[in-house]
Amino acid sequence: MAAPMRNVDEIRNRVILGEFGVKNVHSTDFPGNYPEYDDTWNQKKFQKNFRIDIIQMDENSMEFDMVGIDAAIANAFRRILLAEVPTMAVEKVFIYNNTSIIQDEILAHRLGLIPIKADPRLFEYRNADDEEGTEIDTIQLQLKVKCTRNPRASKDSSDPSELYINHMVYSRDMKWLRPGQELDIVMHCVKGIGKDHAKFSPVATASYRLLPEITLLQPVKGEMAERLKRCFSPGVIELESIEGMIHV
């Protein structure tokens, strides 16, 4: 009975995107559900079927395929990446002088969100009742910026970069220091995890999706084939020429 077997395979292996909803979302491959299949957990079978293919990797982002693993475990990895991998971030900000137009608490919040390039494995967590901080758990940073007028600028220039020295602090498009204003801040960075506060999350975003499989229900020929190919990323659709007409 080939047809019902194919149907069962489809239920077991494929999530179907219908017009009004998504079908076969839950994994049903547990022992006892299907009489012809042995679904007991088998580490060797898993190891044989599992592979990872890295599609693209650079300093800031990475994309890879995991084949042969269930969505439950892949989702657990994604959740752990977002919430439980520790990083260092600014936690306590001691403001000694702030005469800029940014309020203290807004400034402190923004400083907390700045990513700190320090390896969290070299640090320990800080105890809850430790006020001062020791070398093993804290990085101390200082920010001391004062904005003054630039005496060498020409009379008519209106470009702030020329008129004032030090008028932009750290981030490229924030022009919020004007002459006479200064900032004098000491910051403590500690190790934390994303569950505690989102600033400790090491990834901008981590997401996964199921590998798509596209089945064309009708043959597509000619000019429509060219248009279909342009809709997708290069490499997804291949055209071949049969009897002078281009097919997908």
Q: Whose CA is closest to 192, among 107, 90, 58, 49?
A: 90
Q: How far is CA 27 from CA 108, 119, 124, in A?
A: 46, 38, 40
Residue (55 or 216) nearer to another protein, CB = 55
In the numeric block, the tokens 């630039």 are attached to 150
Name the residue nearer to another protein (CB basis): 28 or 99.
28
Residue 155 or 209 with smaller CB distance to another protein: 209
The residue from 48, 79, 175, 227 that contacts another protein (CB under 8 A) is 79
Among 8, 66, 118, 141, binds another protein (CB under 8 A): 66
Nearest to 146 by CA among 201, 206, 99: 99
* Residues of span 33-52 touching another protein by CB under 8 A: 39-41, 43, 46-47, 50-52
* Distance (Å, whole) CA 14 – CA 8: 10
Which residue pairs from 170-175 have beta carbons closer than 8 angstroms and sit at least 24 positions apart in sequence? 170/114, 170/143
Q: How big is the site for another protein, counted in residues (CB under 8 A)?
A: 31
Is-contact 143 187, C-beta < 8 A? yes
Nearer to another protein, 43 or 241 (CB): 43
Q: Which of 5, 57, 136, 224 binds another protein (CB under 8 A)?
A: 57
Site residues (CB under 8 A) for another protein, limited to 97-136: 128-129
Question: By CB under 8 A, which span of 53-61, 111-119, 169-177, 231-239 interacts with another protein?
Answer: 53-61
Among 17, 76, 106, 198, binds another protein (CB under 8 A): 76
**Measured between alpha carbons, how far is 209 from 170 in angstroms, rounded to an integer?**
36
Q: Among 54, 204, 211, 231, which residue sits at the site for another protein (rule: CB under 8 A)?
A: 54
Judge residue 147's burial from the number of C-beta atoms within 10 Å of its C-beta, 0-12 exposed, 13-18 middle, 19 or more buried: buried
SS3 8: helix
Residue (of 186, 187, 197, 188) closest to 86 by Cα position: 197
User: In terms of CB distance, is 54 or 122 closer to another protein?
Assistant: 54
Give the shortest CB-213-to-another protein separation in angstroms.
22
Does the protein bind another protein through residue 80 (CB under 8 A)?
yes
Report phi then psi at 190, rounded to 5.
-125, 170
Using CB under 8 A, list all residues that contact another protein: 27, 30-32, 39-41, 43, 46-47, 50-54, 57, 64, 66, 69-70, 72-73, 75-77, 79-80, 83-84, 128-129
